Structure 1
Amino acid sequence: MHTDASLVVEFLNTVNVEEGTDLLEDAGQWREWAAAHALTANPVAEARAARDALRAAIGDPRLPPGSDGTVSVGTRISLTADGPALVADDVVGAVFAACARLVVRGDWIRLKICPADTCLWAFYDESRNRSRTWCSMRVCGNREKARGWRARAAAG
């Protein structure tokens, strides 16, 4: 997976619906997560608002899209040896810079939310035709297909 996609997916998955955990509920863990990514942690409320807006934008059914769709972040354009680069020092800025690069490359549509109600894990669809539905066919996809089969068998 591309590094931009990895950063975005890891940020989106700081909430784990299946386990009922949210890394942003512990400021210490949040700072450790940011430090592990060589970034500065944003205030928790700001990070949560950004994460929820991004999750809603890629289809998390628990979250309605933002009222105006605007999230302010701090980024800058820096001239590097490879040319101009969109960069940021804090997590939210870096994640949104990564999202912007994904949009420019046409890869934004590859960010998805698993439709399994007990999962809702964010993932990057690396399939050739961008048709992947489940975060994992072995776990969520298999559960849903088995559930559908049992329902059809009971009805028939």
Structure 2
Amino acid sequence: MNSRAVVPEVDPPSSPEGLEPFDRDIELVLAFLNTCDAEKGTEVLDDPGQWQQWCIDQDLGKAPGVDAAREIRDTMRYAVSYGVRPRAVFETAWPVHVRLHNGVPTLTGIDALGNVLVAAARLVHTGHWDRIKICPAEGCLWAFYDRSRNRSRTWCSMRVCGNREKARSWRERHTTA
């Protein structure tokens, strides 16, 4: 028996004018991954009220418990950090709706976390997941999407994190003992 998680083939969701079909999925997954902010020292999932408000702000529907959200978010961040597919996330049983629109099946979650998982599954299925990265800068750890042609972007922002790290590295090399 094959134990691999099966990600269903789905068509891209319709998107607002000016957005690529998967931009909404990318934005949603990044927003979810960034519900913890190392630089600001904030954690949306520490407060059920903040988590509920985040779900409302994202127009995702009902917010499930913060414990489930934290477990899935942390698993996704781990997968992104180490360049692996989030197998444990997609082996998680979470209810979704399958709807046919003009004969085309589309998936949506029945709650906020289900919608995040559906978006992540679409990104994995279409190869966009591999472009999500976590900034390695000390104290940042912000999730971002690498839009570079050769997928070589390292920092969330070259002007901020990249510049800080390069300056720190230069100082270390040029500091006399």
TM-score computed with the length of structure 1 as normaliser: 0.88
Return the match for 2:64 from 5, 26, 42.
Answer: 42
**Structure 1 residue runs of 4+, over 6 Å off?**
none
Q: Distance in 1 between matches of 2:110 and 2:98?
A: 12
The alpha carbon displacement at 1:37 in A equals 1.8
| In structure 2, distance between residues paired with 1:142 and 1:16 | 20
Q: Does 1:125 align with 2:141?
A: no
Amino acid at match of 2:174: A
Cα deviation per residue 1:6-63 (whole Å; 9 max; x = unaligned)? 0000001010111111011111111111112222111111111111111111017xxx
Give 2:80's aligned residue.
58
Give the deviation of 1:155 after TM superposition: 5.6
Moved more, 89-98 or 74-83: 74-83
Structure 2 runs not aligned, ≥5 long = 1-18
The residue aligned with 1:98 is 119
Q: Give the paired residue count.
A: 151
Query: Is the counterpart of residue 134 in structure 1 residue 150 in structure 2?
Result: no
Gaps of 5+ in 1: 61-65
Distance 1:155 1:76, change over 3 A: farther
Identity %: 50
Cα deviation, residue 72, structure 1: 2.6
**What is residue 63 of structure 1 aligned with on the other side?**
none
User: How big is the shift at 1:89?
Assistant: 2.5
In the other structure, the counterpart of 1:147 is 168
Counterpart-to-counterpart distance in 2, 1:3 and 1:77: 19
Q: Take 2:63 and 2:159, find their aligned partners in 1: how far apart are those partners? A: 34
Select 1:116's aligned residue among 123, 137, 156: 137
Normalised to the residue count of structure 2, the TM-score between the two structures is 0.78
